[in-house]
Amino acid sequence: MPPIWVHDLALACLAVGIACAIVIAVDLVRHPQRMWIMNIVWPVNGLFGSVLTLWLYYRFGRLAARDAADRSKRSNTKEKTPYPVMVAKGAMHCGAGCTLGDIVAEGLALAFPVIAFWAGWKTLFSEKMFAIWVIDYLFAFVLGVAFQYFTIKPMRKLSPAEGIVQAVKADTLSLTAWQIGMYGFMAIAQFAIFRNAFGVRLEPSMPEFWFMMQIAMIAGFFTSYPVNWWLIKAGVKERM
Protein backbone atom coordinates (compact mmCIF):
# COMPACT_ATOMS: atom_id res chain seq x y z
CA MET A 1 0.00 0.00 0.00
CA PRO A 2 1.20 3.56 -0.70
CA PRO A 3 1.74 5.77 2.35
CA ILE A 4 -1.43 7.20 3.86
CA TRP A 5 -0.29 10.74 3.12
CA VAL A 6 -0.04 9.92 -0.59
CA HIS A 7 -3.57 8.49 -0.54
CA ASP A 8 -4.92 11.56 1.28
CA LEU A 9 -3.06 13.94 -1.03
CA ALA A 10 -4.47 12.10 -4.05
CA LEU A 11 -8.03 12.42 -2.75
CA ALA A 12 -7.55 16.10 -1.96
CA CYS A 13 -6.06 16.96 -5.37
CA LEU A 14 -8.74 15.03 -7.20
CA ALA A 15 -11.44 16.78 -5.18
CA VAL A 16 -9.97 20.20 -5.96
CA GLY A 17 -9.77 19.36 -9.67
CA ILE A 18 -13.37 18.19 -9.77
CA ALA A 19 -14.50 21.27 -7.83
CA CYS A 20 -12.70 23.60 -10.26
CA ALA A 21 -14.23 21.81 -13.24
CA ILE A 22 -17.70 22.19 -11.70
CA VAL A 23 -17.20 25.89 -10.96
CA ILE A 24 -16.11 26.50 -14.56
CA ALA A 25 -18.98 24.42 -15.97
CA VAL A 26 -21.56 26.30 -13.88
CA ASP A 27 -20.17 29.65 -15.00
CA LEU A 28 -20.22 28.49 -18.63
CA VAL A 29 -23.94 27.81 -18.34
CA ARG A 30 -24.40 31.49 -17.51
CA HIS A 31 -21.68 32.75 -19.87
CA PRO A 32 -21.30 30.27 -22.75
CA GLN A 33 -18.36 30.63 -25.10
CA ARG A 34 -18.79 31.90 -28.64
CA MET A 35 -16.98 28.77 -29.82
CA TRP A 36 -19.19 26.07 -28.30
CA ILE A 37 -16.46 23.42 -28.12
CA MET A 38 -14.69 25.56 -25.51
CA ASN A 39 -17.65 24.92 -23.20
CA ILE A 40 -16.23 21.38 -22.99
CA VAL A 41 -12.53 22.19 -23.21
CA TRP A 42 -12.44 24.51 -20.19
CA PRO A 43 -14.05 22.25 -17.54
CA VAL A 44 -12.28 19.12 -18.80
CA ASN A 45 -8.94 20.88 -18.41
CA GLY A 46 -10.04 21.96 -14.97
CA LEU A 47 -10.00 18.32 -13.90
CA PHE A 48 -6.21 18.26 -14.00
CA GLY A 49 -5.22 21.92 -14.31
CA SER A 50 -7.25 22.65 -11.20
CA VAL A 51 -6.78 26.13 -9.71
CA LEU A 52 -4.48 27.28 -12.55
CA THR A 53 -7.14 26.46 -15.16
CA LEU A 54 -9.76 28.20 -13.02
CA TRP A 55 -7.63 31.35 -12.93
CA LEU A 56 -6.90 31.14 -16.67
CA TYR A 57 -10.60 30.78 -17.41
CA TYR A 58 -11.68 33.82 -15.38
CA ARG A 59 -8.73 35.90 -16.60
CA PHE A 60 -8.88 35.09 -20.31
CA GLY A 61 -11.61 32.54 -21.04
CA ARG A 62 -14.38 34.94 -20.11
CA LEU A 63 -13.18 37.29 -22.88
CA ALA A 64 -14.57 34.79 -25.39
CA ALA A 65 -18.01 34.54 -23.78
CA ARG A 66 -20.97 35.37 -26.01
CA ASP A 67 -22.29 38.07 -23.70
CA ALA A 68 -18.84 39.69 -23.53
CA ALA A 69 -18.82 39.90 -27.34
CA ASP A 70 -22.37 41.30 -27.33
CA ARG A 71 -21.38 44.06 -24.91
CA SER A 72 -18.38 45.08 -27.00
CA LYS A 73 -20.30 44.68 -30.29
CA ARG A 74 -17.30 42.89 -31.76
CA SER A 75 -14.77 40.21 -30.81
CA ASN A 76 -11.75 41.66 -29.05
CA THR A 77 -10.55 38.32 -27.73
CA LYS A 78 -7.46 38.11 -29.92
CA GLU A 79 -6.44 41.70 -29.16
CA LYS A 80 -6.79 41.18 -25.40
CA THR A 81 -5.26 37.70 -25.23
CA PRO A 82 -1.43 37.49 -25.22
CA TYR A 83 0.07 35.07 -27.70
CA PRO A 84 1.43 32.72 -24.99
CA VAL A 85 -2.12 32.39 -23.66
CA MET A 86 -3.43 31.67 -27.16
CA VAL A 87 -0.87 28.87 -27.36
CA ALA A 88 -2.01 27.57 -23.99
CA LYS A 89 -5.62 27.52 -25.20
CA GLY A 90 -4.52 25.67 -28.33
CA ALA A 91 -2.73 23.09 -26.20
CA MET A 92 -5.82 22.78 -24.02
CA HIS A 93 -7.71 21.35 -26.99
CA CYS A 94 -5.25 18.46 -26.90
CA GLY A 95 -5.65 18.31 -23.15
CA ALA A 96 -9.39 17.91 -23.41
CA GLY A 97 -9.13 15.15 -26.01
CA CYS A 98 -6.38 13.33 -24.14
CA THR A 99 -8.15 13.58 -20.79
CA LEU A 100 -11.48 12.30 -22.07
CA GLY A 101 -9.78 9.66 -24.21
CA ASP A 102 -7.74 8.37 -21.29
CA ILE A 103 -10.72 8.31 -18.95
CA VAL A 104 -12.76 6.32 -21.48
CA ALA A 105 -9.90 3.95 -22.38
CA GLU A 106 -8.84 3.30 -18.80
CA GLY A 107 -12.46 2.84 -17.75
CA LEU A 108 -13.11 0.34 -20.53
CA ALA A 109 -9.92 -1.56 -19.75
CA LEU A 110 -10.90 -1.72 -16.09
CA ALA A 111 -14.43 -2.92 -16.86
CA PHE A 112 -13.38 -5.27 -19.67
CA PRO A 113 -9.84 -6.59 -19.02
CA VAL A 114 -9.89 -8.53 -22.31
CA ILE A 115 -9.37 -5.20 -24.11
CA ALA A 116 -5.76 -5.16 -22.90
CA PHE A 117 -5.19 -8.51 -24.63
CA TRP A 118 -6.73 -7.15 -27.84
CA ALA A 119 -4.30 -4.22 -27.65
CA GLY A 120 -1.29 -6.54 -27.52
CA TRP A 121 -0.75 -7.44 -23.87
CA LYS A 122 1.12 -10.75 -23.59
CA THR A 123 1.81 -10.75 -27.34
CA LEU A 124 3.35 -7.38 -28.24
CA PHE A 125 3.82 -6.04 -24.71
CA SER A 126 4.85 -7.80 -21.52
CA GLU A 127 3.64 -4.79 -19.53
CA LYS A 128 -0.14 -4.27 -19.43
CA MET A 129 0.20 -0.49 -19.14
CA PHE A 130 1.86 -0.28 -22.55
CA ALA A 131 -1.06 -2.08 -24.19
CA ILE A 132 -3.52 0.28 -22.53
CA TRP A 133 -1.50 3.20 -23.85
CA VAL A 134 -2.33 2.06 -27.39
CA ILE A 135 -6.03 2.30 -26.56
CA ASP A 136 -5.49 5.64 -24.80
CA TYR A 137 -3.82 7.09 -27.87
CA LEU A 138 -6.55 5.93 -30.25
CA PHE A 139 -9.36 7.39 -28.15
CA ALA A 140 -7.39 10.58 -27.49
CA PHE A 141 -6.63 10.99 -31.21
CA VAL A 142 -10.25 10.61 -32.28
CA LEU A 143 -11.51 12.99 -29.62
CA GLY A 144 -8.65 15.43 -30.20
CA VAL A 145 -9.40 15.60 -33.91
CA ALA A 146 -13.07 16.14 -33.09
CA PHE A 147 -12.19 19.09 -30.85
CA GLN A 148 -10.03 20.59 -33.59
CA TYR A 149 -12.71 19.98 -36.22
CA PHE A 150 -15.30 21.96 -34.30
CA THR A 151 -12.76 24.76 -33.92
CA ILE A 152 -11.27 24.95 -37.41
CA LYS A 153 -14.32 24.20 -39.55
CA PRO A 154 -16.48 27.15 -38.39
CA MET A 155 -13.55 29.60 -38.15
CA ARG A 156 -12.34 28.83 -41.69
CA LYS A 157 -15.80 28.06 -43.09
CA LEU A 158 -14.67 24.72 -44.51
CA SER A 159 -16.63 21.79 -45.85
CA PRO A 160 -16.91 18.75 -43.55
CA ALA A 161 -14.25 16.84 -45.52
CA GLU A 162 -11.86 19.80 -45.55
CA GLY A 163 -12.52 20.32 -41.86
CA ILE A 164 -11.52 16.76 -41.02
CA VAL A 165 -8.31 16.99 -43.06
CA GLN A 166 -7.28 20.25 -41.42
CA ALA A 167 -8.21 18.94 -37.97
CA VAL A 168 -5.97 15.90 -38.45
CA LYS A 169 -3.12 18.15 -39.59
CA ALA A 170 -3.59 20.45 -36.62
CA ASP A 171 -3.92 17.79 -33.96
CA THR A 172 -1.59 14.93 -34.85
CA LEU A 173 1.72 16.50 -33.82
CA SER A 174 0.23 18.37 -30.91
CA LEU A 175 -1.56 15.38 -29.46
CA THR A 176 1.43 13.10 -29.96
CA ALA A 177 3.66 15.57 -28.13
CA TRP A 178 1.12 15.70 -25.32
CA GLN A 179 0.94 11.92 -25.04
CA ILE A 180 4.74 11.67 -24.94
CA GLY A 181 4.85 13.89 -21.87
CA MET A 182 1.93 12.10 -20.26
CA TYR A 183 3.29 8.61 -20.94
CA GLY A 184 6.75 9.64 -19.78
CA PHE A 185 5.53 10.80 -16.41
CA MET A 186 3.21 7.82 -15.94
CA ALA A 187 6.15 5.49 -16.62
CA ILE A 188 8.15 7.27 -13.92
CA ALA A 189 5.20 7.12 -11.54
CA GLN A 190 4.55 3.43 -12.20
CA PHE A 191 8.06 2.02 -12.27
CA ALA A 192 10.24 4.42 -10.27
CA ILE A 193 7.85 5.74 -7.65
CA PHE A 194 5.10 3.26 -6.89
CA ARG A 195 6.74 -0.07 -7.71
CA ASN A 196 10.27 0.68 -6.53
CA ALA A 197 9.58 3.10 -3.68
CA PHE A 198 6.17 1.93 -2.48
CA GLY A 199 6.13 -1.68 -3.69
CA VAL A 200 2.71 -1.44 -5.30
CA ARG A 201 1.39 -1.39 -8.87
CA LEU A 202 -0.65 1.63 -9.94
CA GLU A 203 -4.12 0.60 -11.09
CA PRO A 204 -7.04 2.68 -12.46
CA SER A 205 -9.12 1.59 -9.47
CA MET A 206 -6.80 3.59 -7.16
CA PRO A 207 -7.19 7.33 -6.50
CA GLU A 208 -3.39 7.50 -6.61
CA PHE A 209 -3.53 6.46 -10.26
CA TRP A 210 -5.76 9.39 -11.20
CA PHE A 211 -3.70 11.76 -9.08
CA MET A 212 -0.65 10.70 -11.08
CA MET A 213 -2.71 11.21 -14.24
CA GLN A 214 -3.39 14.79 -13.17
CA ILE A 215 0.35 15.41 -12.96
CA ALA A 216 0.94 13.47 -16.18
CA MET A 217 -1.52 15.72 -18.02
CA ILE A 218 0.38 18.78 -16.81
CA ALA A 219 3.57 17.16 -18.12
CA GLY A 220 1.76 16.61 -21.42
CA PHE A 221 0.81 20.27 -21.51
CA PHE A 222 4.46 21.29 -21.25
CA THR A 223 5.66 18.90 -23.96
CA SER A 224 2.80 19.97 -26.23
CA TYR A 225 3.17 23.71 -25.65
CA PRO A 226 6.17 24.39 -27.96
CA VAL A 227 4.56 22.27 -30.69
CA ASN A 228 1.39 24.33 -30.44
CA TRP A 229 3.45 27.52 -30.51
CA TRP A 230 4.92 26.47 -33.86
CA LEU A 231 1.61 25.16 -35.27
CA ILE A 232 -0.18 28.42 -34.50
CA LYS A 233 2.69 30.54 -35.87
CA ALA A 234 2.63 28.45 -39.04
CA GLY A 235 -1.13 28.93 -39.39
CA VAL A 236 -1.90 25.22 -39.05
CA LYS A 237 -3.89 25.85 -35.87
CA GLU A 238 -6.16 28.80 -35.25
CA ARG A 239 -5.47 31.61 -32.79
CA MET A 240 -8.13 31.87 -30.11
Give the E-state strand segments of the chain in sequence order.
none
> Which ranges in the chain belong to alpha helices (H)?
4-30, 38-59, 66-72, 77-80, 83-111, 114-118, 128-156, 160-187, 207-233
Q: How confident is the model at residue 74 (pLDDT cuts 50, 70, 90)?
A: very low
Residue 76 has pLDDT above 60, yes or no: no
Q: How confident is the model at residue 81 (pLDDT cuts 50, 70, 90)?
A: confident
Where in the chain are the domains? 4-233
d(CA 30, CA 53): 18
3-class DSSP assignment, residue 35: coil
What pLDDT, in 10s, does the model give residues 173-188?
Answer: 999 999 999 999 999 9
d(CA 87, CA 230): 9
User: Crossing angle, helix 207-233 and helix 160-187, to 10 degrees?
Assistant: 130
* Mean pLDDT along residues 6-35: 96
What pLDDT, in 10s, does the model give residues 127-151?
Answer: 899 999 999 999 999 998 888 888 8
d(CA 16, CA 22): 10
What pLDDT, in 10s, does the model give residues 212-240?
Answer: 999 999 999 999 999 999 999 998 887 87
